[in-house]
């Protein structure tokens, strides 16, 4: 899906505001939640913010479109057991204080694992499209040249505004960056360490640097103490506990349908499964990805519209499949048989099929450069796993059919703008939007995809909100 860059026609804006007002007044009298702050999005940044704001004695309500909190975190529980499998975010590195604080609110025990120790039995490279295995393919895993450049910008993944003047490398397409530094041999490894970035080579290098940030790279060093994981392998537990704890202040399966914002207050009209709920708050904290589609109901002014309309996104989808027959411990990575384009698979496609703690259940991750319906993604995952299984497992045809046990869409993932927007000061203007019309912003788009950086950013933002 291509996001339109055209501003809404004036007439449409007027009609929209009129409708918004009508619904506000209809709903207003009967059903109002008054809060210090309204939060949109119950993922990593939204839940962290709520817990911190509660400590600061501010009242809040969270509006979340899914029926559960957790954002990019998803946990599956094998039916009839206590066995959990995390199939979204896996481990947490970076700002240790914020990681401990977040999971500490509900006493969720954490343990550290070294990446080298969670390795699988064997990695096999298979062209998922043609079902050909590449037995001699050995991608270069040495990404030290890229790492050396990343470490030059230690603050990049913690903040919204970019260094000024903008370093030339950040606005290069990653293809040009690869050529400039002669790191062709490690492109395949970099690509699979930045899953979800879609067509990596055509994107500005900034997004690779934000993803493979110093915290992420440090966590992989042999000398690193490693990443934090939840001891019960139940990353969603903290979110489910918060959701229950917040009671009527957690509005799930809900969306904002209209809003009024000015410098003194915010009024949101929220459609919940059972009613239309009005929230009147002193402040608004937006934590959902600020795509134009998500932001439109917030009654955008021209300045806001001009920024949010620049974002494009890609699709990252994860799930668990039940597929018996694969050799235990083997992981399958999608590598194009053709040498051109560094053996990168052409998206949309399944990135990989990985073993989990339960034999027969495999973690699958799928990428798309543009919007796809969930049913198309689900169908392609099942078809691809079945095809790969026929290629690598003898007598696969007689095995029980492949079943998708769990699935989660992470569209829209990793919002980006063009190199020219970047050079034109987009991120400085985005940063300057904080506080405009009583509205504040946090989340991956404003820092990086590393969860602890999102928490670190939120931690630094909150004192400014009620200044
Ligand atoms: C598959 C995957 C694996 C990852 N693994 C790791 C990892 O191992 N370690 C790590 O540090 N980071 C990981 N990340 C990144 C990390 O999880 C994110 O950086 C973090 O979740 C970002 O927090 P956020 O609050 O910005 O977004 P989210 O956690 O996604 O929260 C946003 C919330 O907003 C909700 N929402 C969206 N639109 C609307 C709307 N219109 N109305 C209401 N609510 C809405 C969403 O449902 C979601 O709950 C991973 C991400 C993905 C997708
Ligand atoms: C919040 O309120 C509690 C109880 O009234 C009080 O003990 C605490 O100091 C307050 N915290 C802040 C940050 O104001
Ligand atoms: C990785 O590459 C760098 C730069 O080419 C080189 O100096 C270093 O020795 C390599 N490391 C390993 C472990 O091969
Ligand atoms: C802000 O909007 C509210 C309605 O949502 C209105 O009552 C109030 O007067 C407005 N304040 C200013 C300063 O415009
Ligand atoms: C996976 O499939 C096998 C074979 O059909 C079945 O016995 C098992 O119960 C399934 N597991 C789950 C978690 O559905
Ligand atoms: C955020 O992270 C930086 C870099 O790790 C650290 O120096 C800083 O103390 C952190 N800030 C907060 C508020 O956690």
- Which tokens go with 349? 């496609």
pLDDT band for 180, please (50, 70, 90 cuts): very high
Q: Which atom of ligand 6 approaches the CA of 98 most closely?
A: 14
Distance 59 CA to ligand 2 centre (A): 12
Structure tokens at 200: 């990596």
Query: Which atom, in ligand 1's list, is nearest to the CA of 410?
Result: 53
| Integer Cα distance of 245 and 269 in angstroms | 23
Task: Write down the mean pLDDT value for the chain.
Answer: 93
Highest mean pLDDT: which range of 113-117, 158-162, 394-398: 158-162
336 and 351 Cβ atoms separated by less than 8 Å: no
Cα 445 to middle of ligand 1, angstroms? 10
Ligand nearest to the CA of 90: 1
Distance 144 CA to ligand 3 centre (A): 6
pTM for the full predicted model: 0.94
Pairing of strands 312-322, 361-368: antiparallel
Half-sphere exposure of 378 (CA within 13 A, CB side): 10
* Residue 133 pLDDT > 60: yes
Binning pLDDT at 50, 70 and 90, where does residue 2 land? very low
Largest Cα separation within the chain, whole Å, is 70
Give the per-residue pLDDT at 466. Answer: 96
Closest-approaching ligand to the CA atom of 21: 4
**Which ligand approaches the C-alpha of residue 403 most closely?**
5
What is residue 64's three-state secondary structure?
Answer: coil
Q: How far is C-alpha 252 from the geometric centre of its chain's CA atoms? A: 19
User: 78 in ligand 5 pocket by Cβ < 6 Å?
Assistant: yes
For ligand 1, atom 22, which residue shows the shortest CA distance? 444
460 lines ligand 6 (CB under 6 A): yes
Q: Relative to the CA of 78, which ligand 5 atom is closest?
A: 13
Q: Which ligand is nearest to the CA of 113?
A: 1
| Shortest-distance ligand to the CA of residue 77 | 5
- Which pLDDT belongs to residue 23? 52
The answer to whether residue 1 scores a pLDDT higher than 80 is no
CA–CA dist 223, 346 (Å, integer): 35
Residue with tokens 């940030």: 213
For residue 106, count other CB atoms closer than 10 A to its CB: 15
In angstroms, how far is CA 364 from the centroid of its own chain?
A: 16
User: How far is the C-alpha of 334 from the C-alpha of 124, rounded, in Å?
Assistant: 9
- The two tokens of residue 289 are 């990805």
CA 153–ligand 3 middle distance (angstroms): 21
- 450 CB under 6 A from ligand 6? no
Task: Please tell me the distance from the alpha carbon of residue 307 to that of residue 295, in angstroms, as a whole number.
Answer: 11
Q: Is the CB of 64 under 6 A from ligand 6?
A: no
Q: What is the percent of the chain with per-residue pLDDT over 90, rounded to a whole number? A: 89
Give residues (CB < 6 A) around ligand 2: 56-57
- Ligand 4 binding pocket includes 330 (Cβ within 6 Å): no
Angle between helices 44-55 and 237-246 (to 10 degrees): 50
Q: By alpha-carbon position, which residue is closest to atom 7 of ligand 6? A: 95
pLDDT band at 115; cut points 50, 70, 90: confident
* pLDDT score of 14: 39
Within 8 A by CB and 6+ apart from 133, the residues are 124, 125, 126, 127, 391, 392
To test ligand 5's pocket by mutation, which of 400, 405, 407 has the most ligand atoms within 8 angstroms of CB? 400
User: Ligand 1 in contact with 288 (CB < 6 A)?
Assistant: yes
Q: Indicate whether residue 360 lines ligand 5 (CB < 6 A).
A: yes
212-236 pLDDT per residue, tens: 999 999 888 878 888 999 999 999 9
Which atom of ligand 2 is least distant from the CA of 57? 1
Q: What distance in Å separates the CA atoms of residue 425 and residue 447, rounded to the nearest whole number? A: 16
Nearest atom of ligand 6 to the alpha carbon of 455: 14
- Residues 250 and 273 sit within 8 Å (Cβ to Cβ): no
A 10 A CB-CB count for 54 gives 16
Share of the chain above pLDDT 70, in %: 93
Residue with CA at minimum distance from ligand 2 atom 2: 57
349-383 pLDDT per residue, tens: 999 999 999 999 999 999 999 999 999 999 999 99
Lining ligand 3 with CB less than 6 A are 142, 144-145
Ligand 1 atom 17 nearest Cα = 72
Closest ligand to the CA of 398: 5
């Amino acid at each position: 899906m291509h996001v339109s860059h055209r501003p809404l026609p004036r007439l449409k804006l007027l009609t929209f505001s009129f409708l918004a007002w009508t619904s506000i007044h209809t709903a207003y009298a009967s059903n109002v939640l008054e809060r210090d702050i309204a939060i949109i999005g119950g993922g990593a940044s939204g839940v962290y913010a709520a817990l911190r704001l509660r400590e600061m004695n501010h009242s809040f309500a969270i509006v979340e479109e899914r029926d559960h909190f957790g954002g990019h975190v998803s946990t599956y529980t094998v039916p009839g057991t206590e066995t959990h499998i995390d199939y979204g975010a896996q481990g947490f590195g970076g700002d240790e204080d914020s990681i401990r604080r977040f999971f500490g609110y509900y006493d969720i025990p954490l343990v550290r694992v070294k990446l080298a120790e969670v390795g699988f039995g064997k990695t096999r490279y298979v062209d998922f499209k043609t079902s050909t295995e590449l037995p001699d393919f050995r991608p270069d895993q040495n990404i030290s040249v890229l790492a050396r450049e990343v470490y030059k910008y230690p603050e990049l993944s913690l903040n919204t505004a970019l260094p000024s003047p903008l370093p030339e490398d950040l606005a290069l397409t990653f293809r040009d960056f690869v050529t400039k530094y002669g790191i062709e041999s490690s492109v395949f490894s970099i690509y699979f360490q930045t899953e979800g970035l879609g067509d990596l080579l055509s994107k500005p290098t900034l997004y690779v640097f934000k993803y493979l940030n110093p915290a992420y790279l440090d966590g992989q060093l042999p000398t690193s103490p490693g990443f934090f994981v939840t001891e019960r392998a139940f990353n969603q537990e903290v979110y489910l506990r918060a959701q229950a704890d917040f009671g009527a202040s957690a509005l799930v399966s809900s969306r904002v349908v209209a809003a009024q914002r000015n410098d003194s207050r915010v009024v949101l009209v929220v459609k919940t499964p059972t009613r239309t709920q009005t929230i009147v708050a002193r402040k608004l904290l937006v934590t959902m990805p600020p795509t134009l589609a998500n932001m439109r109901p917030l009654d955008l002014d021209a300045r806001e519209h001009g920024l949010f309309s620049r974002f494009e996104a890609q699709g990252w989808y994860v799930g668990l499949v039940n597929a018996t027959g694969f050799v235990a411990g083997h992981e399958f990575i999608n590598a194009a048989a053709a040498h051109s384009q560094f053996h990168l698979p052409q998206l949309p496609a399944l990135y990989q099929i990985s073993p989990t703690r339960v034999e027969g259940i495999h973690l699958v991750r799928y990428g798309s450069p543009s919007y796809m319906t969930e049913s198309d993604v689900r169908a392609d995952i099942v078809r691809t796993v079945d095809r790969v299984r026929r290629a690598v497992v003898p007598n696969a045809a007689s095995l029980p059919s492949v079943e998708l046990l769990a699935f989660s869409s992470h569209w829209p993932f990793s919002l980006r703008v063009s190199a020219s927007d970047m050079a034109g000061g987009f991120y400085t203007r985005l940063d300057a939007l904080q506080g405009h019309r009583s509205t504040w912003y946090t989340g991956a788009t404003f820092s990086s995809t590393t969860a602890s950086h999102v928490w670190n950013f939120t931690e630094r933002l909150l004192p400014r909100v009620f200044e």
